[in-house]
Structure 1
Amino acid sequence: MRPRTRTVLTLLNGTTGTGLLLAFLTGARIRRGRDGLLIAEGYRLRMPPASCFTVGSVILTRRTADWLLAEERAALLAHESRHASQYAVLGPLFWPAYWFACGWSYSLTRSFGVRNFFERHAGLRDGGYPEELPLRPWVTRLKRR
């Protein structure tokens, strides 16, 4: 998806506004990123445990924007950018769909990301997730039947 289209859609569907509100409420400082993305550095809450996460076109991180924009984290930035595109398409429906996908993945593998459609589409390796984990024993038994 083109960055300008993504930016406009996430503004119109309210998810970027939600990301900015979350940044404000947690004391994060907003900086411009690449391709219309905003980076909220200094996010202070412990949840979620990831180093960064995206809401609309806002990437929230406990670290600095410079840390995220460094060349060695280009894959992570691309991963988060793909999540912003998912927000552009789904708008607020992203949240229940994403959490359902997390539950599905966790129920199968004990990982919120490995079998999560949204994380797979954003690039598991780029997001720091393992690309494959064994299925839980009950799933394996069910597949054999």
Structure 2
Amino acid sequence: MTVWQTLKLVGNVINLSTVAGALVGLIGRARFSRGPRGLFYATGYKLRFPVAGAFTIGNLVLTKHDRAYLDARPILVRHEERHSWQYFCLVGLPLLPLYCVGAAWSWLRTGCPASRNPFERLADLADGNYVEHPVQPFGRTLQQTFRRR
């Protein structure tokens, strides 16, 4: 681990984001293990929210899949590691409401919670297995939403 990765690991423990991630992992009955570059994995996550192949809280990457899933996807792990840096830079848990605002904005603009979410864009959309959707009028997003229901 580099000095910067160690600093991020310690910072995300102090700012309680990794602790919060561990609580979410415990609630989701995940199995914990050490990952690369100061990350930890919580695999076998049982809750249905959020709907994602993997998501990160602090320095903890959570997934419903097993460890082999993450080990086979180093680009996805890099994407999740970038999110761990976002927790560090935003002093932890303030990232969560800001991320939600970004997801809502993105959904309004594109019908997709990731495409225009600045946190996903900074973590690299493609590395997170997201497809970039074009900006569309708000009315079209609302029509698509209500048509699905």
TM-score (norm: length of structure 2):
0.87
- Cα displacement string for residues 13-58 of structure 1 (whole angstroms, at most 9, x for unaligned residues): 0000000111111110101000110000000011111111000000
Query: 2:43 and 2:88 mapped to 1: Cα distance?
Result: 22
Contact 1:108 1:139 in 2 (8 A): no
Equivalent residues in 2 for 1:1-145, closer than 5 Å? 2-70=4-72, 73-90=73-90, 91-131=92-132, 133-138=133-138
Contact 1:113 1:124 in 2 (8 A): yes
Paired amino acid for 2:98: A
Deviation at 1:137, TM superposition (A): 2.7
What is the percent sequence identity of the aligned residues?
39
Q: Could you say what secondary structure the match of 2:130 adopts?
A: coil
Query: 1:93 and 1:26 mapped to 2: Cα distance?
Result: 22
Deviation at 1:116, TM superposition (A): 0.5
Contact 2:42 2:63 in 1 (8 A): yes
Query: 2:138 and 2:48 mapped to 1: Cα distance?
Result: 32
- Cα displacement string for residues 115-145 of structure 1 (whole angstroms, at most 9, x for unaligned residues): 00000000000001113x22223489xxxxx
- Cα displacement string for residues 62-85 of structure 1 (whole angstroms, at most 9, x for unaligned residues): 011222012xx1110000000001
Query: 2:134 and 2:28 mapped to 1: Cα distance?
Result: 37
Query: 1:13 and 1:139 mapped to 2: Cα distance?
Result: 40
Paired amino acid for 1:114: S
Contact 2:78 2:127 in 1 (8 A): yes
Alignment root-mean-square deviation, CA: 1.6
Divergent runs of 4+, >3 A = none
- C-alpha change, 1:138 and 1:47, in structure 2 (3 Å) is closer
In structure 1, list runs of 5 or more residues that go unmatched. 141-145
Query: 2:81 and 2:47 mapped to 1: Cα distance?
Result: 21
TM-score (norm: length of structure 1):
0.90
In structure 2, list runs of 5 or more residues that go unmatched. 141-149
Query: 2:8 and 2:16 mapped to 1: Cα distance?
Result: 12
